[in-house]
Chain A
Amino acid sequence: MITDTQISLKSQYSSSDRWLLGFVAILFILVFAPTLSWLWGRWTMSVWQNGHGILVTLLVIYLVREELIKRKDLPQHTSAWGFAILIPALIIHMLDTGLNSQLLSAFGLFMSLPGLALLFLGIERSKAILFPLIILMMTLPIPLVFTESLHMGLRIIATKSVAWLLKTLGVPVYSTGTILQVENGTLQVADACSGFSTLYAAVTIAILTAYFCNSTKRRILLLIIAAPLAIAVNIARVLILTLLVNWIGLDVLATAAHEISGLMTFMIALPVIFMLGQNPKEPENLANESHQ
């Protein structure tokens, strides 16, 4: 039985808790607002860059929310181990304010989230949301110095594949390095057309989808298929653009078709990954569907 005093104390305690937690949230936003602003800039720069960042972040927010709702009945637990993650994350952010790389600070931001989860949600609930939080790291822009050779490899794969496909289709083409020459113009498969952004997005989404898929076979399939799928979709895009140049001329590359084709790679690759990663229907549901 709860007495009036206990109720009063309880409500007072809750009220101060709310203030404290609100203050933590405001301070956290103040500390990382410039970093978030930079991240937003990188995610919205162009379709050739890190456009998947927004999608993945929204997915992570949704998944974290779902997991926490599932576990809302767990008692309030905390773990001081969170400091072991939060303190280094904040140090990384602080050092980066002077270095001005922004990327390190963004790394610190995502690193601090599991630390805060341990401190405010406890070990059990942190475990449940740890994977989506780690996946947030895959929304960080990768510096060109680490991806330069990969870009070049992807560009050569796209050029050679498109040249082969064009010859198979009976379209005269001459290709060398990352250049494709057709009757109506010469195209260069540049870094932006390497398909790296689609590859990065597809692999990230595939890992996330595989984690929440119950079927081991589908998980393996997702992880195996993500990269070749992204590369194949990009080859198809370069092929279509080359055919358009062959039929219409180089001016077509200056139209919205160029950018829309970039978006199409995401619009094809990502739904395929989601579809493959759907949990298989249980026999009961299948039986019900067949009766209807």
Chain B
Amino acid sequence: MIAARYSIPVIALLLVALIPTVIHNYLGLQAKDDAPVESIPITLDNFVSKPSSRLAIWGKETFNCHDWMERMYTDEDGHVVRLFVGKSFDHKRLYHHPELALSYGNNMVSEGIQWLQENPKIPVNVLRNNNKPGLAAYVLWYDGQFIENPIQHQIQDTLKLLISPKKPLILFYISDNHSKSTLNFRETNTAQLLLKAIQNFEQI
């Protein structure tokens, strides 16, 4: 009833398909990662931090992060800025509306991409609170590069991932409750802290 004529070419095709399946699904190979996010200094410029009160399991459950930290940085004037940095091999979990988890309860409007620093340019997704002061901003970093469009980036990366282990995407997320909507994002102390955190992490 079943003809075996094409068995051998089908076996060959299935064996080829099995290679990335084994790499990613069975072995779950992941690139070595030796830059823990905890290495970001507790004190950045004039900001001193303390850890936030989230449970240790929160980052894993929310973003599937294998390495994450969240700190409350306070400047000399008492302004508090929250910084989250997390790494995950599950890229979509990190880039798909991180504000829903990290700025829960705030009604935010996206201002699109703004650029920090000239060389290399850092694309920052900026969001503002809709009806009160405060903003959130995040930067995505992958394999030494800043990612402007994560979906496009993931599609472009798929061919490499056919035979190579997964690399983590890193999310730098910063938010405050004091920046006025009239103030340009790059002029806020929040933007300065984000830049410092990224620069420090790059040097690790």
Chain A positions within 8 Å of B, measured between CB atoms, are 16-17, 20-21, 23-24, 27-28, 30-31, 34, 68, 72, 76-78, 80, 82-83, 86-87, 90, 93-95, 97-101, 116, 119-122
Contact = CB atoms under 8 A, between A and B. Distances in A.
Interface string B4-40: 1111111101111111110111100000000000000
B6 A120 contact: yes
Contact of A98 (B14, B18, B20): B20
Given A20-B8, A24-B10, A27-B11, A120 B21 contact: no
Interface residues of B, number: 37
Interface of B: 1-11, 13-21, 23-26, 89-92, 154-155, 157-162, 166
Max chain A Cβ within 10 angstroms of own Cβ: one of B13, B20, B159: B13
A116 B4 CA distance: 11
Contact of A86 (B1, B10, B89, B159): B10
Contacts, number: 101
Nearest to A86: B13
B2 A21 contact: yes
B11 A23 contact: yes
Contacts of B91: 100
A93 B19 CA distance: 11
Given A27-B18, A76-B1, A97 B7 contact: no
A98 B162 contact: yes
8 contacts: A20-B8, A27-B11, A78-B3, A80-B6, A86-B10, A94-B20, A98-B158, A99-B161
Given A34-B25, A98-B20, A28 B6 contact: no
Nearest to B90: A100
Contact of B2 (A76, A97, A98, A101): A76
Interchain residue pairs A-B with the least CB separation, the first 8: A98-B161, A20-B7, A17-B4, A76-B3, A27-B14, A34-B25, A97-B20, A97-B24
Given A31-B18, A78-B5, A120-B6, A99 B158 contact: yes
